[in-house]
A and B are shown apart, each in its own frame.
Chain A
Amino acid sequence: MRVEEYGERSLQLAGWDVHLTTYKLGDVYHCKADNVSPGAALARTTGATRDEAELKAIERAQQLLGKTRRRVV
């Protein structure tokens, strides 16, 4: 099998830059959310549609990013 409909895009969640990678593999859409800096994986989700997979990844990433504390230095 091969990846289809591969796409990447950036957005802001909870004040942080996030990178979404979405593609279709077989009948399933996969989505991976990374923080842009440094580029660590936040969420990996699947769905029957692109929107469903991305929504799950965004929700999970938002939960995690919302817990990140910024300190004054």
Chain B
Amino acid sequence: MPDYVHPEVLVSTDWVARHLDDANVRIVEVDVDSRAYDEGHIPGAIAWNWQEQLCDRVQRDIIPAGTFEDLMADSGIANDTTVVIYGDNNNWFAAWAFWQLKIYGHNDVRLMNGGRRKWLSESRELTPDVAAVQPVRYKACAPDFSIRALLPEVMAASQAGTALLIDVRSPEEFSGEILAPPGLPETCQRGGHIPGARSIPWGKAANDDGTFRSYEELKRLYGAEGVDGSKPSIAYCRIGERSSHTWFVIKYLLGFENVRNYDGSWTEWGNLVGAPIEQGAGREK
């Protein structure tokens, strides 16, 4: 991964295959559909369920620090462990988990480029056996909320142009033609996008095999929409996982410092009383 600004946050399937027995590496699978892990997974990998283990189960939020520490400790992850995360759907929820690990300051966390799809397509070893884990101690850092956008910051970005808003959903969701990805439940009252947002669907950052596009391709893609690092940016989608993927690309592969993930995303904004929306393909750019 030599051309990215922070290549150290990505590993290849080859790298993972060479580190299956590395005691300082913990491999974690995080899927949209948690049944994927049960079907067969990378030997030694554990699984995190994004709905039950990576969300506050009472109020809508990321997991609290204490719960995060318990999750890491119970997963056999110490503060100096190298954590490699992968998952289905091009690492959507793997990126969501990566983002939370960075909020709580885990130093060495990486994504497996191409995710579960690439591992399978290469006919690599899988196992249905759940890895045995020895719990360890873990201490989270103070949360770094500079990588998270909450509603007031998004309001300011939309109304005063304090940051570029990047809508990473499909064009049909952006325009308001559909309220959720085709085939999934509608989870908002209205369709459209946050006024002023640019449409850059997450998938444009990925190759056909699920790996990330090259640095030059990514620079051109985002640069064409004004995302060049000269201004803060905020990525959003429907529930915050696709935008984690884009946040990862902009922050680590392109190396733009000031980028946040708005995990409230369209399920917050599109249900908010009094919030303005735009419909259609958006402004002329």
Contact = CB atoms under 8 A, between A and B. Distances in A.
B134 interface: no
B169 A38 contact: yes
B120 interface: yes
B183 A67 contact: yes
B177 A71 contact: yes
Interface in B77-121: 88-90, 117, 120-121
A34 B173 CA distance: 16
A35 B203 CA distance: 12
B196 interface: no
Contact of A73 (B32, B89, B169, B176): B176
Contact of A6 (B121, B127, B173): B121
B254 to A, nearest CB: 21
B21 interface: no
A3 to B, nearest CB: 5
B41 to A, nearest CB: 11
Interface in B6-40: 32-33, 35-36, 39-40
Nearest to A5: B123
A4 B123 contact: yes
Contacts of B180: 68
B170 interface: yes
Contacts of A71: 176-179, 191
Contacts of A55: none
Contact of B242 (A8, A38, A72, A73): A38
B201 to A, nearest CB: 7
A11 interface: no
A64 B180 CA distance: 12
Nearest to A61: B183
Contact of B125 (A2, A21, A40, A67): A2
Nearest to A17: B182
Contacts of A65: 182-183
Interface in A25-56: 25, 30, 32, 34-35, 37-42, 44
Contacts of A30: 39
Q: 3 tightest CB-CB pairs across the interface, nearest first?
A: A64-B183, A37-B170, A73-B176
Interface of B: 32-33, 35-36, 39-40, 88-90, 117, 120-121, 123-127, 169-173, 175-184, 186, 191-192, 201-203, 242, 279-280
Interface of A: 1-4, 6, 8, 16, 21, 23, 25, 30, 32, 34-35, 37-42, 44, 61, 64-65, 67-73
